Structure 1
C-alpha cells in the first residue's frame, strides 16, 4: 500500500524511480447530467454512446489490454453479498491608466501611461475585482464560468493513459489562508488506464475503459471503471468501487475498503472487499468531454474584433518577431496579438484580470515568464501552438486557479518548465519527460509520461468568479455553476444527489457540486 504524505509523496516517488521501481474520447456529461461520483450510488448515469473520436497525434502509448478472464476464486474478507434489482462580445474595459514597459536596445526601461477614462463591460465590473470577462458573443457567460466547468479533474485525457514512471496526484486549495495538502485530485481517462510503476491518486480514478496496474497503486477515493480491472501487485481503493467488467487476478491483490458495485454475471477474482458486494446495474459515464471541444479559434476571433489594444496603445503585432529582451505590463483588460515570438527573453507582467488572445503561435526560444500580480488572473487563448525551448515560468504555483491556458494546437516544453495553472489542449498529446510537476490541472488529448510526474490540483478553480446568474435558464449542465450547478427543466438549480453533478464531483451540503472532502 502506498503511503500518503501530501507533497512529500513526489519526493518519495522520485527516490523510488532512482531505485528502478519502475484513446479516444466520447462526450462526457457536464454538471447536471447523469453521472455519479459518490459512495452508495449503484447507477452511474447514462453511459455515453457513439463512436469515439480519433486523434491525429500518435504520441500516446497504447494501454495494455486485460482480457478479464480470471480464476474464479471466491471473494475473500468480511464482505456480504446483496442483490440490487434496480435497473461576445465584451464591452470596453474600465480602467484609469495603462502602463506598458519594455527593455530597449540599451537595456533601459521605458514606460508610457495613458489615461483611458471610465468604461464598463457590464455589471459587475471585473476590473474592480468582481465577476469575470465576458466570452465573445455571450451576455452572461464569462471566462471564469468556462474555467470552472472545464477543469474538474487534475488530469483528463481523451485517449489511453500509460506511464512507465512514478505518477502522483494530490490537491490543495489556494483560497485557504495556509494551503495544506489534501487527499484529492482526480484522474479521468476516456480509454484504458495502465501503470507499470508506482501510482498514487489522491482523489477518484474514473476510467471509461480497462484498468491495469503492474506496480503498487493507490486510489484515495472512488474507483470508477467502465471495463475490466486487473492488479498484479498490491493495490488499494480507499472507498467504493464501481466496475462494469470483471476483476481478475490469481490472488486478491486489490483491497477495496468500501463497497464493490458490479453487474450480475461479472466475476471478482482479484479484490478483497471490506464492505458489501452489491450486484446490480453499473454504468460508468465517460469522464472527459472531448467530442465537444471549446471553440478556441472562435473565441480568439471574437477578441480580435473587441479588445482593449487601442486604449492601451498596444499594436496586435507588438510581441511578434522580438529579437531583443522585452518586458511588458498589461493591466486589467482584453488584449489581442497576431503572434507571440521572441528570441532572448520576454516577461509579461499582469496586474489585474486579463485575457490574452493569440491568433497564431506562441514561440519562445529564450527565457519566458508570465508574472501574475497578487490580484491578477489570466485566460490565455492560443489558436495555434505554444512551444518553449528554454526555461519557462507559466502561471503561479501558489495560485494555479488564477491562470487558464487554452491551446488549439500542441504545447511543447523542450527544457525546464514550471506550470502553475490549468492547461486545455484537447487535440494533442502532452509529453513530459524527466522529473516534472504541474501545479493545477491538465485537460489533454493524450499524455506520455516517462519519468516521475506529479500533479497538485488546485480546488480553488471550482470556485472562481464567473458571471452566470444563479438560477438562470439553461440548456445543459455547462450553462450552470455553483451555487446552482444542475440543469433541470431548463433552470439552474442546486444539486440533490451525486447524479446531479458531472464527473468527478459530488453533491455537497448546500446543493453545490464539489470533490469529496479531502
Structure 2
C-alpha cells in the first residue's frame, strides 16, 4: 500500500480524560476509508482493560508493570528503568575515542537543558583511550586493566576510579573529588581535589592532592554486562506476545509490516505487541500516555523512523531483533528524554545517520552503537561498544533515577 496510511489506537476524548469505553482503534487508508472498534469489541488475552486504566491514562496510577520472563512476578517498568540507566554512558567493552567526549546532566522536569550541568557519570568495562578532550561532569569508572590513556585535556567533576594506570600527555588533568588508580600515574601534572589512592610501589608523576594514600585499589566493573545481570529482553517480549492489550483496542500485531510511503501508529496507555516494523517507507510511533510496546522481531525501514513521546506520555520499548533504519531516526524529546526507555535484545550495529536524534535511554548490551559525525545524545546509552567518528556529547536526564517513584513497594 502506498501513500499515507494511519493506524490510530487513540483515546476518543484525549483532551478530557478517558474511560474504558473511550479506547478505540481506527484505521484510515489513503482513499479515506476507515474502520474503528471500541474497547468493548474484544478482550485481551488476560481479560478486558484493567480497572485502573483511567488512572494510567491520567498519569495518576503507577507506571506499567512488565512481567518477569521466568516467573509470575511483576516488575514496575519505572523501577526497571531507574536501575538500568544509572550512567550517561556505559560500555561493556573498552572505549577508544578519536575526538572529544563530553558528559553532563540536567533534569527535564526542572526546565530545558543548559550546558555544563553537574553529573553525567561514565562507565567503561574495558580500557579507555582518548586522543582528544575528555570532560565528564559526574564520576568516571574504568574497569580495564589497561586503565586510561589520555590525549588532551582531562576533567572529571566528581570521582575517578581506574582499574589500571593513568598515562598520556594531556595539557591538563584534574579530578574534583577523590581518585583511585590501580597503577602508575604517568602524567605531566595531575590535580586531585580529594584523596588520591594508589597501590604500594606505584610510580607518581607531579601530583597535587589533598592527600596521597598508598593501599590496595580493587578493580571495578561499572557496567552490569554479565548475562546473569542483564535485562531479559527476549523473555519479556515472548511473554507479552500473548499477554497484552491489543484486542482491547483492536490493534493488529502486524499493523506495521510492509510499510510503503508513510504509516503512523498512535498508542494509548497499556501494553501492546507488534510482530515487526518493516518496509521501504517511513514509520511514526506516537505516545501520549503510559505505554509499553513489545516488538517481537526486526525493525528495518528504508526512509526513517520517528518515535514521538510527549508528556504525560512514557514509553518502554522492547525490541527483539536487529534495528536497521536507513533514513533519519528521531527518538523521543530532548526536553524530557527520561520518558523514553528502549531495550534491545539484538547484537547488530545500531547506526545513527546524520540528522538523527537520540533523546531517550538506550539499553543494548550486545550491540554496537555507531555514530557518524558529531553525535549528541540526550539521555543515556548502555551498549557493548561505541564507535564515534566525531565528538560525542551526552546530556543525562537525571529524572530517570526517579522513574520508579510512582511504583508501589510491593
TM-score range, shorter chain: 0.7 to 0.9
- Structural mapping, 1:348-367, within 5 Å: 348-367=285-304
Is 1:126 aligned with 2:56?
yes
Deviations 1:21-62 (A, max 9, x none): xxxxxxxxxxxxxxxxxxxxxxxxxxxxxxxxxxxxxxxxxx
Three-state SS of the structure 2 residue aligned to 1:327 is strand
User: Could you tell me whether the CA contact under 8 Å between 1:142 and 1:467 is conserved in 2?
Assistant: no
In the alignment, the residues of structure 1 paired with residue 55 and residue 361 of structure 2 have an alpha-carbon distance, to the nearest angstrom, of 24
Partner of 2:103: 169
In the alignment, the residues of structure 1 paired with residue 103 and residue 256 of structure 2 have an alpha-carbon distance, to the nearest angstrom, of 36
Q: 1:345: Cα distance to partner?
A: 2.3
Is 1:136 aligned with 2:67?
yes
Q: 1:102: Cα distance to partner?
A: 5.1
In the alignment, the residues of structure 1 paired with residue 308 and residue 34 of structure 2 have an alpha-carbon distance, to the nearest angstrom, of 18
Partner of 2:36: 112
Q: 1:432: Cα distance to partner?
A: 0.8
In the alignment, the residues of structure 1 paired with residue 391 and residue 55 of structure 2 have an alpha-carbon distance, to the nearest angstrom, of 43
Is 1:149 aligned with 2:79?
no
Q: 1:281: Cα distance to partner?
A: 2.8
Change (3 A) 1:354 1:239: same
Partner of 2:382: 443
Which residue of the other structure, out of 89, 92, 98, is the alignment partner of 2:23?
Answer: 98
Change (3 A) 1:148 1:377: same
Is 1:236 aligned with 2:174?
yes
Q: Which moved more, 1:405-414 or 1:156-165?
A: 405-414
In the alignment, the residues of structure 2 paired with residue 325 and residue 367 of structure 1 have an alpha-carbon distance, to the nearest angstrom, of 10
User: Could you tell me whether the CA contact under 8 Å between 1:100 and 1:328 is conserved in 2?
Assistant: no
Partner of 1:273: 208
Three-state SS of the structure 2 residue aligned to 1:439 is strand
Partner of 2:14: none
Q: 1:176: Cα distance to partner?
A: 1.2
List runs of 5+ in structure 1 lacking aligned partners: 1-92, 473-518
Count how many residue pairs are aligned between Structure 1 and Structure 2.
375
User: Could you tell me whether the CA contact under 8 Å between 1:261 and 1:278 is conserved in 2?
Assistant: yes
Is 1:374 aligned with 2:311?
yes
User: Could you tell me whether the CA contact under 8 Å between 1:208 and 1:286 is conserved in 2?
Assistant: yes
Q: 1:404: Cα distance to partner?
A: 0.4
Change (3 A) 1:462 1:278: same
Partner of 1:185: 120
Deviations 1:66-103 (A, max 9, x none): xxxxxxxxxxxxxxxxxxxxxxxxxxx98442244555
Deviations 1:95-146 (A, max 9, x none): 442244555234x585735244974277995344221212224544211111
Partner of 1:483: none
User: Could you tell me whether the CA contact under 8 Å between 1:141 and 1:468 is conserved in 2?
Assistant: no
In the alignment, the residues of structure 1 paired with residue 122 and residue 243 of structure 2 have an alpha-carbon distance, to the nearest angstrom, of 37
Partner of 1:497: none
Partner of 1:254: 190
Three-state SS of the structure 1 residue aligned to 2:230 is coil
Q: 1:388: Cα distance to partner?
A: 1.4
Three-state SS of the structure 2 residue aligned to 1:286 is coil
User: Could you tell me whether the CA contact under 8 Å between 2:78 and 2:407 is conserved in 1?
Assistant: no
Partner of 1:343: 280
In the alignment, the residues of structure 1 paired with residue 28 and residue 357 of structure 2 have an alpha-carbon distance, to the nearest angstrom, of 24
Q: 1:446: Cα distance to partner?
A: 0.8
Deviations 1:410-463 (A, max 9, x none): 323244210110001101211112011110000000111111121100000000
In the alignment, the residues of structure 2 paired with residue 190 and residue 280 of structure 1 have an alpha-carbon distance, to the nearest angstrom, of 22
Deviations 1:185-219 (A, max 9, x none): 01100010010012211111100121110111211
Which residue of the other structure, out of 261, 264, 267, is the alignment partner of 2:200?
Answer: 264
In the alignment, the residues of structure 2 paired with residue 113 and residue 287 of structure 1 have an alpha-carbon distance, to the nearest angstrom, of 49
User: Could you tell me whether the CA contact under 8 Å between 2:328 and 2:355 is conserved in 1?
Assistant: yes
In the alignment, the residues of structure 1 paired with residue 78 and residue 361 of structure 2 have an alpha-carbon distance, to the nearest angstrom, of 12
In the alignment, the residues of structure 2 paired with residue 439 and residue 237 of structure 1 have an alpha-carbon distance, to the nearest angstrom, of 24
Q: Which moved more, 1:139-148 or 1:181-190?
A: 139-148
User: Could you tell me whether the CA contact under 8 Å between 2:359 and 2:378 is conserved in 1?
Assistant: yes
Task: Tell me the C-alpha RMSD between the 2 structures.
Answer: 2.4
In the alignment, the residues of structure 2 paired with residue 217 and residue 332 of structure 1 have an alpha-carbon distance, to the nearest angstrom, of 45
Deviations 1:226-283 (A, max 9, x none): 111113112121221011211124x3x22222210122222222x5223100222322
Is 1:427 aligned with 2:366?
yes
In the alignment, the residues of structure 1 paired with residue 155 and residue 196 of structure 2 have an alpha-carbon distance, to the nearest angstrom, of 16
Change (3 A) 1:97 1:296: same
Q: 1:379: Cα distance to partner?
A: 0.6
In the alignment, the residues of structure 2 paired with residue 399 and residue 186 of structure 1 have an alpha-carbon distance, to the nearest angstrom, of 18
User: Could you tell me whether the CA contact under 8 Å between 1:326 and 1:347 is conserved in 2?
Assistant: yes
In the alignment, the residues of structure 1 paired with residue 54 and residue 197 of structure 2 have an alpha-carbon distance, to the nearest angstrom, of 46
In the alignment, the residues of structure 2 paired with residue 305 and residue 237 of structure 1 have an alpha-carbon distance, to the nearest angstrom, of 51
Q: Which moved more, 1:143-152 or 1:403-412?
A: 403-412
